[in-house]
């Protein structure tokens, strides 16, 4: 109940943030604008709408997660409300979990709104409902949960600007993590191989949540891959939140 209360308060606080609505407006604009792009692009117009629509949900969802997530804990510290909260019978890990859950509820609402616009546009131009798009959006939301956990991790010990930079940097690395295998193969020094291999397993592999190409171009999708991606996301989130709780527990606010 403590975690749920913090989560609901976080959600109420987040939806009052004007920048959230600005990002939502821009994302909807790009989803709708995909129709214009489809008219001036060579190829299947519906595929362009699907591709741009899913990409918009993913990219702008990440912006929401980073901008809001990196400010969640810092705001409480900056306004000194953290002292009031921690003076109550509440554990620090409960505080972090509540913040994480609250932001994910906010992101869920935003993703649902963007998805409704996306599906509405597809139906308007003759596309039938396909469950694989729901799966793609589910994996996008799982990616956002990972980004949220990472943003809270950095927010627990540094400023919003640095948290945003670090989180965005890891987001970029996460989509190029497959290149680590290339570096492992090319590196001859055993220590170098070991170091790159460790980084490969520690850093997030966000490409596991990217099935936009398969969905848009009707390529085969393995149910095992989808299940593995979801489990990977869940365990990665739990690991990052555990690390966040350790850091936050050791932090001295006096």
Q: What is the pLDDT along the chain (254 residues), one digit of tens a residue?
A: 788 888 888 888 888 888 889 999 999 998 888 877 767 665 677 788 888 899 999 999 999 999 888 887 777 776 777 667 667 777 878 888 988 999 999 999 999 999 999 999 888 877 777 888 999 999 999 999 999 999 989 888 888 889 899 999 999 998 887 777 777 777 777 888 888 888 888 889 999 999 988 888 888 888 899 999 999 999 999 999 999 889 887 776 55
Amino acid 47: pLDDT: 83
- Listed in sequence order, the residues at least 6 apart from 58 whose beta carbon sits closer than 8 Å to its beta carbon are 140, 143, 210, 212
Amino acid 28: pLDDT: 92
Side-chain-facing half-sphere of 102: CA atoms under 13 Å: 27
d(C-alpha 246, C-alpha 92), whole Å: 9
Say which DSSP state 35 is in.
Answer: H
Alpha-carbon torsion angle 55, 139, 6, 19, nearest 10: 0
Residues present in the chain in total: 254
Amino acid 144: pLDDT: 95
Q: What are phi and psi of 217, to 5 degrees?
A: -100, 15
Q: Are 78 and 158 in contact (CB under 8 A)?
A: no
């Amino acid at each position: 109940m403590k975690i749920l209360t913090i989560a609901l308060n976080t959600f109420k606080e987040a939806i009052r943030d004007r920048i959230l609505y600005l990002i939502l407006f821009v994302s909807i604009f790009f989803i709708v604008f995909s129709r214009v792009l489809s008219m001036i692009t060579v190829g299947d117009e519906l595929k362009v709408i699907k591709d741009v629509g899913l990409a918009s949900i993913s990219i702008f969802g990440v912006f929401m997660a980073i901008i809001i997530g990196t400010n969640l804990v810092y705001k409480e510290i900056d306004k000194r409300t953290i002292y009031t909260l921690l003076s109550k019978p509440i554990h620090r890990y409960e505080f972090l979990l509540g913040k994480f859950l609250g932001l994910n509820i906010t992101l869920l609402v935003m993703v649902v709104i963007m998805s409704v616009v996306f599906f509405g546009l597809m139906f308007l131009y003759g596309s039938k409902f396909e469950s694989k798009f729901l799966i793609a959006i589910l994996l996008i939301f799982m990616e956002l949960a990972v980004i949220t956990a990472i943003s809270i991790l950095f927010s627990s010990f540094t400023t919003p600007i640095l948290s945003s930079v670090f989180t965005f940097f890891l987001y970029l690395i996460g989509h190029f993590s497959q290149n680590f295998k290339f570096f492992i193969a090319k590196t001859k020094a055993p220590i170098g191989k070991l170091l790159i291999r460790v980084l490969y397993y520690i850093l997030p592999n966000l490409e596991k949540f990217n099935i936009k190409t398969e969905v848009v171009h009707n390529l085969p999708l393995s149910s095992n891959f989808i299940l593995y991606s979801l489990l990977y996301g869940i365990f990665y989130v739990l690991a990052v939140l555990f690390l966040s709780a350790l850091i936050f527990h050791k932090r001295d606010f006096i």
